[in-house]
Chain A
Amino acid sequence: MSGAPDLGALARDRADRRALARTTRALRASGLARVWAVRYPPLREPEAAALAGGHVAGSLAALAPPYRAAFGVLLRLVPAAFRLVTGRRLEVASPEVLAAGAGRLERLPVLGTVVRTTGTLACYGALDGVRPAVAARAAGTELPERAWPNDPR
């Protein structure tokens, strides 16, 4: 996929790559990608879903270690919490159950913040994660706007 960011290349050293691998695994274990596909229509396309997952994992990997670790643990708790609030397993739940369950998860303390934050990140990453197809023009040398009345130049 041409527009997808190469997260591995962005990771500057081995520790970064390890952090990215851990958050990617935790995110996968959370099953939240299924929730996003139901709640956020633009994320239903596989390319958009991949960009979303990449941005969420990359962002969480960039957090300070204590926060990264906390997110990792909480993401892995999502399936159990989902089962508690809906009585259904997240990985086989119907779209209606997924939507209702996600809404209930979002109202929980702490875990709700994780679900809301990752959802917001997923939306951003899916839609603003594509590299520009056309190179940006360099800044102009002209100054079309007016300078301050008291501009000392």
Chain B
Amino acid sequence: MAERPAVIDCDALVIGSGAGGAVAALELARAGRRPIVLEEGPEVSVADIADASPAENMRRLYRNAGLSPIHGRPTIAFGEGRCVGGTTVVNGGLLWHPPADLLDRWALRSGVDGYRAEDLDAHLRDVTRRLSVITHTERPPANRDSRLLAVGADALGWRRQDARRAVRGCRHSNRCATGCPTGAKQSMALTYLPQARRRGARVDAGTRVVRIAHDGRTVTAVHAVGPDGRRTTYRPNVVFLAAGALGTPALLQRSGIHARRAGRHTAIHVNLRVNARFADPVAARDGTIFTTQLHEFADLGILVMPANLTPGTLAASLAGHAPRVLERLLADIDHVGTYTVQVRVSGSVRVTALPAGGLLLRHHLRASDRELLRFGLRQAARVLFAAGAVELYAPERRVLRSVEEAEAFVPRADPRRWDLVSVHAMASCPMGLPERGGLCDGYGRPYGLRGLHLCDASVLPGATGVSPQGTIMAFAHEITDRYLALPRLP
């Protein structure tokens, strides 16, 4: 006979501990609601991260070890954190304010007001203060990859922006993407969650939520499986769902809540990695991921920025090239800088929860997206050659040695053959009026259901174009504040 599940009554339950869930946890704890936070992944300390290899951290801090495939042409690898602190543990620590004009467009399109720049300003200031957000300037002789990007941008007269990052006392360890080994990055695991715990929150790591039970009008329970495989039923007064832009719609589907619409049109940013070899040493391994971003094409949703460079990431990105190319570039790694072209695509991703567990993700990139990717590669080539690059390791195993070669290659290149990754997904359960495609209201409540608030990247009305952590946190603060301002039901 199966063991009966344990039953836990609680006031507030938060599902997920990333940028959305941690904000909800802290705000609820500050209001004396003693929330329980359920996190599917493990709790990993800074010391544990520091002691492990990057590859080990990749396997234990990322969902599917960073290998979640988004099917389509090409298959895109999606990476998101799966640990206490969520993706904030493995991202670059970038924290941008959402552009005011973007928030205005979202308000007009969604029909939901109260999320414009002036409404979110106080939240963003609070986030900035709590996460010690600073403008990360250069630290010669390190960060030469960033400085070279700045040189190229200045030579072309293009706009660039110093990176704003949530770090304190960064040691430039070059391991942001596999967890900061020094504790400098101000992830949710080191900031919001400890503060929430001090105010009465509890974090249950290794606990996977399998279903949200409801009677068609109100949430009645949340069923979860703990790290020991034991089933637990939580009976909260309110649930804040922050399982991420993919996890949240999947859980809604499994729970029969807007199952047909949740996750149907998920927005993503797509990243293309380009390695550049310079005549002079770059020593890109000594530095942060980036201190400069190229913003000249930000209006088109295209950013270019340096990326984390290690022997492993370099070899992995060159795996399709001839053995001699791989060998030569690894031997010359101190002359290599790695750059990412990030593109906000208009084609969306469909999320489908599989019955046996896991997700089926399928993208529908459009011809216009492929054109944007080509355009992004072309501009990256221009800026890197202007910065002094002597060789560019482009997609389709091409080695480009001049702007002219790049100009000749790009029009014939086919992004359906490129190795693309994505680390930003949003808008899978967008906030908005139902007749405008919205799935939840301005309180994050899915239409027709009480006791549930969506509180993560899934509620954003569209793609941000910039790293979304700041936007997610501001929305989460606003959603939680609005909930706490509601009169409490008996």
Contacts and interface: CB of A to CB of B under 8 A. Distances in A.
Contact of A128 (B75, B128, B164, B310): B310
Interface string B309-327: 0111111101110010011
A66 B358 CA distance: 7
B129 A139 contact: no
Contacts of A128: 53-55, 58, 178, 310-313
Contacts of A147: 134-135
B357 A39 contact: no
Interface in B303-352: 310-316, 318-320, 323, 326-327, 330
A41 B134 contact: no
A137 B182 contact: yes
Interface string B130-145: 0011111101000000
B170 interface: yes
Contacts of B206: 12
A125 interface: yes
Given A40-B319, A139-B183, A153 B330 contact: no
B53 A148 contact: no
Contact of A136 (B173, B315, B318): B173
B171 A119 contact: no
Interface in A129-153: 129-132, 135-148, 151-153
B358 A153 contact: no
Interface residues of B, number: 64
Given A5-B52, A127-B315, A148-B164, A12 B182 contact: no
B184 interface: yes
A34 interface: no
A40 B55 CA distance: 18
Interface string A51-81: 1000100111011111100000000000000
Contacts of B168: 139-141, 143
B330 A42 contact: yes
Given A10-B56, A123-B319, A143-B132, A67 B64 contact: yes
Contacts of B357: 64-66
Interface in A82-135: 99, 106, 113, 116-117, 119-121, 123-132, 135
Contacts of A148: 128, 133-135, 164
A29 interface: no
B129 to A, nearest CB: 6
B181 interface: yes
21 contacts: A5-B52, A10-B59, A12-B227, A60-B65, A63-B358, A64-B356, A113-B75, A120-B419, A121-B67, A123-B318, A127-B311, A128-B58, A128-B310, A129-B53, A132-B181, A137-B182, A138-B183, A139-B183, A140-B169, A143-B134, A146-B137
Q: Which 9 A-B pairs have the closest CB atoms?
A: A64-B358, A128-B312, A140-B169, A139-B184, A123-B315, A136-B181, A59-B65, A127-B311, A127-B312
